[in-house]
Amino acid sequence: MFPPLYAVLDNELLDGRPVACAKALSAAGVQLIQYRAKRLASREYLRTCSALAETLASRNARFIVNDRPDIAAMAGAGGVHVGQQDLTPEDARRICGSGRWVGVSTHNLEQFRAAAKTSADYIAIGPIFATSTKEKPDPVVGTALIREARKLTRKPIVAIGGITLSRAAEVYAAGADSVAVVRDLIAAGDPATRAKEFLAIAAEVRENSRGNSVFNSRTGAGKNG
């Protein structure tokens, strides 16, 4: 099962504590953590990514490097995430190696369709809601696009952009396998506690969905004829 919470550690928001934050989140049950540092020099980015990869290797958490498949490979990370302006998933995989995950961001249905045809291990879509963590965010797509995208692939879908605790349930219910959260985790007084709250919501939505599926299969609800 794909991890329901995708924690994104943004260097601009972390105030120099990525490893400590990653430790706390993994201890809280977060199994997928990305480090994003758009303005960090390559040497420092590699140093921090190497420390994060080493820290999370024994903590049942996969570490993802943002944008840089070369650094993902050198740091021993669990994967890389690329955007529409970065290398393609295939090119990224050639650099970081076949044993690592490659994720890709999409911002509309056309991009999502194209990504679904690639070797990407998961596809991110957003921004679902308005977000302030990107300098030039793409247009908000809403949960309706998740529902449309869900029909196109069985690959895991990661929803991103402005997702808060109060909005997480509707995003999961729309068909997202995971929610990528940046500010609502880091800005929380206790990121680990906030992460547990997200995970509890994901478990509840999945349980309700499973219950509805069982009910429909027994009663025939939702079937034509």
**CATH code, domain carrying 33:** 3.20.20.70
What average pLDDT does the structure give for the chain?
91
Rg, C-alpha atoms of the chain: 17
Quick: pLDDT tens for 121-176: 999 999 999 876 666 677 899 999 999 999 999 999 999 999 999 999 999 999 99
- d(C-alpha 208, C-alpha 196), whole Å: 18
Q: Per-residue pLDDT for 220 more than 50?
A: no
**Could you tell me if 160 and 105 are in contact, meaning their C-beta atoms sit under 8 angstroms apart?**
yes
Residue 79 makes CB contacts below 8 A (sequence gap 6+) with: 62, 63, 64, 65, 72, 96, 100, 101, 102, 103, 121
Amino acid letter, residue 3 = P
| Count: domains in the chain | 1
Quick: pLDDT tens for 29-38: 999 999 999 9
Q: Is the pTM of this model over 0.85?
A: yes
* Residue with token string 């906030």: 194
The pLDDT score that the predictor gives to residue 222 is 46
Residue 185 lies in a domain: yes
Residue 107 makes CB contacts below 8 A (sequence gap 6+) with: 84, 125, 126, 127, 138, 139, 141
Residue 224 lies in a domain: no
The range of the structural domain enclosing residue 207 comes to 5-217
Q: How confident is the model at residue 61 (pLDDT cuts 50, 70, 90)?
A: very high
Residue 134 lies in a domain: yes
The pLDDT score that the predictor gives to residue 152 is 97
- For residues 178-195, average pLDDT: 94
The pLDDT score that the predictor gives to residue 212 is 64
Residue 223 lies in a domain: no
The pLDDT score that the predictor gives to residue 196 is 98
Residue 225 lies in a domain: no
Give the largest CA-CA distance in the chain.
Answer: 63
